[in-house]
Amino acid sequence: MKQKVRKAVLPVAGLGTRFLPATKASPKEMLPIVDKPMIQYIVEEAKESGVEQVILVTGRGKQAIENHFDTSSELERILEQKGEEKLLREIQKISNLVSFCYVRQKEALGLGHAVLCASEAVGNEPFAVLLGDMIIDSETPGLKQLMDVYEHYKDPVIGVSRVEQSEVSRYGIIKANQVSSGVHEVLDLIEKPSPEKAPSNLAIIGRYILPPEIFDILERTSPGANGEIQLTDALKKVLDNTALFACEIKGKVHDGGSKLGFLKATVELALKNPELGDDFRQYLKGLDL
């Protein structure tokens, strides 16, 4: 019987160069979407999917992430003195979401290397990986959808979403056979193919459930594009020994790692905000577009 997925790895050591100069001194993951930093949406998704421990793979200049999920006694005391009970509960909830563990990635050597840095913290059990700039707005948390597929097939699962054919060159794309509604058995993975060579428009969107054996594979994986250890290359080797499934995520996937995706996420999540939505909608309607 396969073990339950209890741990999630969040690689957050990247430099966020696409958001410079905003990210010169602040982590990209701490950029706010409406009233929460991006990374909090990801941690909340992990929590709502049943994850008990989040392992954040950090790097230089990422202390703000650790501080965000830590207890802030002084702030809590000030809010209590001011009678800001609702806000106090929200602040206290952040540090109590899950158990947190921090691992340092000393060099930015790719997503595969970031995952490998978490090997000791994960141990010998299956685990999830969530990228910190892909926000999934869905009724059932995105990771929970993968977990349901994992529990059925007992094999590793990656999250995918259909993209426009013109956009496939921005993503890892899978070649696969559909085995049930929204579920595919992966035959191959191609990193950023040209639209003419892409085997499908099913893009990998930053959600994975992986076996512990992936660490041994990553140890033996040679650097690929840009001299980095690519997780996609390791997943190809997983196919040599086990089945790999892909789950089409039901919901809206926001690529918060791009400026346009970040703006779209801000607008759409603001419209859903119970305190801001109505006023914001009226404001947008009044714009001369």
pLDDT number for residue 1: 53
The tokens 């790692």 sit on which residue?
257
Which ranges in 14-83 belong to alpha helices (H)?
A: 38-48, 63-68, 73-81
Contact of 153 with 235, CB cutoff 8 Å: no
The pLDDT tens digits of the residues spanning 247-271 come to 999 999 998 888 999 999 999 999 9
- Which residue in 100, 87, 107 sits closest to 7, CA to CA? 100
* Residue 225: per-residue pLDDT: 65
Q: Give the integer Cα–Cα distance in Å for 133 and 205.
A: 10
Query: What pLDDT was estimated at residue 182?
Result: 92
Can you give the pLDDT at residue 110?
Answer: 86
Residues whose CB falls within 8 Å of the CB of residue 55, separated by 6 or more in sequence, listed in order: 7, 8, 9, 10, 101, 102, 103, 118, 121, 122
What are the angstrom distances between the C-alpha of 7 and each of 62, 128, 129, 156? 21, 6, 9, 14
Token pair, residue 91, equals: 């602040």
Q: What is the pLDDT of residues 78-108, one digit of tens each?
A: 988 888 888 889 888 998 899 999 999 888 8
- Residue 168's pLDDT is what? 87
pLDDT of residue 37: 94
Return the DSSP state at 225. Answer: G
- pLDDT at position 106 is 86
- The Cα–Cα gap between 220 and 203 comes to 25
Cα separation, 178 vs 184, whole angstroms: 4
Angle between helices 142-153 and 38-48 (to 10 degrees): 40
CA distance 222 to 100: 30
Residue 202 pLDDT = 93
Residue 241's pLDDT is what? 85
Structure token pair of residue 238: 């997983």
pLDDT tens, per residue, the chain with 289 residues: 567 899 999 999 887 788 888 888 888 999 999 999 999 999 999 999 999 999 999 988 888 999 999 888 888 899 888 888 888 898 889 988 999 999 998 888 889 999 999 999 999 999 999 998 899 999 999 999 999 999 999 999 999 999 888 888 888 899 999 999 999 999 999 888 888 888 999 999 999 999 999 999 999 888 876 778 889 889 998 888 899 999 999 999 998 888 999 999 999 999 999 999 999 999 999 998 8
Contact yes or no for 184/178 (Cβ under 8 A): yes
Domains of the chain in start order, with CATH, are 7-285 (3.90.550.10)
What was the pLDDT predicted at 218? 93
